[in-house]
Amino acid sequence: MALCMGLGLSIGAMTPAWADSGASGQALVGLPDFTPIVKQYGPAVVNISTTETRVARGVTSPFPPNSPLNQFFAPFFGAPGQPGAPGGGAGQKYQVQSLGSGFVISSDGYIVTAAHVVKGAQKIIVSLTNHHQYAAHLVGLSARMDVALLKIDAKNLPVVQIGDSSKLEVGQWVLAVGSPFGFENSVTQGVISATSRPLPDDPYIPFVQTDVPINPGNSGGPLFNMRGQVIGINDQIYTNSGGYMGLSFSIPINVAMDAVKQLKLHQKVHFGWLGVMIQDVSMDLAKSFHMKEPVGALVSQVVPDGPAAKAGLRPGDVIVSFDGQAIYNSGQLPPLVGVLPAGFKAKLGVIRDGKPMSLNIVVESLPGNLENTVESAASGGPAQEGEVKRLNVQVGPLTAEARKQLHVNTGVLVLGVGVGPAAEAGIRPGDVILQVAQQQITNAADLQKLVAALPAGQPIPVLVRRGEGSFYLVLSLPH
């Protein structure tokens, strides 16, 4: 009581320095009031609960079935007789329940959420703020775009207002409504930290980055601007703890609604495609490709018969502009291309061997068969081995089956890597060396001869295939 009184007296007797608003007598920045948005559009935000049936994969306890220690480790491995439990359980079915959020986009029951909230669910329940619950039907989803469209049998529902995410600016106030940890219709606020932010696992989505507190259960909920318009779908956080740590990412509503339109028509969501694998240009790579600055998207792989191959693009080319827009890093390119329709014609600004050039390319639709992975480049084992002493590596030829899997006609398989330049560059056993200094490698003798003639102390680009992808490393040979 005394403490409260003391603070009250001090506050009443003082005039804070920040209260002086200058000669105009008005504050430069006013704090926002979010209550009108919550009152008008909060009822259109829904809670989504799902039930999914899974099959145990047989994760077992390290203790014998009759060990008393199993009672302490049951939460991690399952109790005896349960999925994944000691003494059995592999192959058994069990149910997993999860929570998420969504929002109503039409009064007749169409609801938008994130695909990962409902993917694989056998049962989807939508709860409104008036406590009415409905079984939802999944109209369609795009896992790559992480957008899903649901339908419930209801009428005269409250709906949100859709905004325009292309007009977002860094520093704008935004508001998130959702069900973090199951706490329905929780409201959090913050500002836009960045726009068009690509993430490694979602290259086609130009995310809106904010500092709005988002936690598990917020996924699929709306991100509002100060006009009460939905400008994003809350989707991801960057975290080491599993909870919010200051970085939240939302799918721009323009991108999401484009996918929703296709899902509503029961169409497969289209993505523009160039048929290349790309990577950022480091300072060392820029030097090795005779570039003045480390900018652009370095082409490390070109899909045979794809749009890039037809346009004449090659591994080692650096894309510095697309359809008149400058490309400063590899993350910029996929979102630009992904939203374009098949048949769209664009100009590529390219640097090849340090010289600028222009190529014409026609965008195609992303094929549905690009999820195949190559397990091993060494299928069947090498027939002969060769040692490249200057790199301190052992290499061997690729089998015909490995070449077919990797879609390559050249290259040698790295069998072993010792201490030396190759290891320092990041080359590993199992890698396939495709090019060195932009010269194709056919066999160990080619590699030995080429490496012997390379200058010392200069950055040399090395193109390697690792698993299903190709990328460049920088090699520097000692004097």
Binding residues: 116, 146, 217-219
Residue 146 among the catalytic residues:
yes
Closest CA to 139 of 124, 155, 129: 124
- Count the Cβ atoms, other than its own, within 10 Å of residue 387: 15
Which residues lie below 8 Å from residue 158, measured CB to CB, with a gap of 6+?
41, 43, 44, 104, 107
Which residue positions form the known binding site for substrate? 116, 146, 217-219
Is there a contact between 271 and 362 (Cβ–Cβ < 8 Å)?
no
Is there a contact between 432 and 465 (Cβ–Cβ < 8 Å)?
yes
DSSP state of 73: H
Is there a contact between 178 and 220 (Cβ–Cβ < 8 Å)?
yes
CA distance 349 to 476: 29
Strand partners, 230: 162, 224
Which residues lie below 8 Å from residue 211, measured CB to CB, with a gap of 6+?
190, 191, 193, 246, 247, 248
Catalytic residue (one of 219, 288, 300, 470): 219
Using the Cα atoms of residue 163, residue 166, residue 168 and residue 174 in order, give the sign of their dihedral.
positive
Using the Cα atoms of residue 9, residue 12, residue 14 and residue 17 in order, give the sign of their dihedral.
positive
- Token digits of residue 396: 């061997």
CA distance 43 to 311: 51
Catalytic residue (one of 49, 61, 146, 179): 146
CA distance 295 to 285: 10
Q: How far is CA 175 from the centre of its chain?
A: 23
Strand pairing report for 229-237 and 161-162: parallel
Using the Cα atoms of residue 179, residue 183, residue 185 and residue 187 in order, give the sign of their dihedral.
negative
Dihedrals phi, psi of 5, to nearest 5 degrees: -65, -45
CA distance 200 to 238: 12
Beta strands in 262-305 (DSSP E): 272-273, 276-280, 297-302
Alpha-carbon dihedral of residues 276, 283, 285, 474, nearest 10 degrees? -120
Closest CA to 245 of 270, 273, 213, 220: 213
Residues with catalytic function: 116, 146, 219
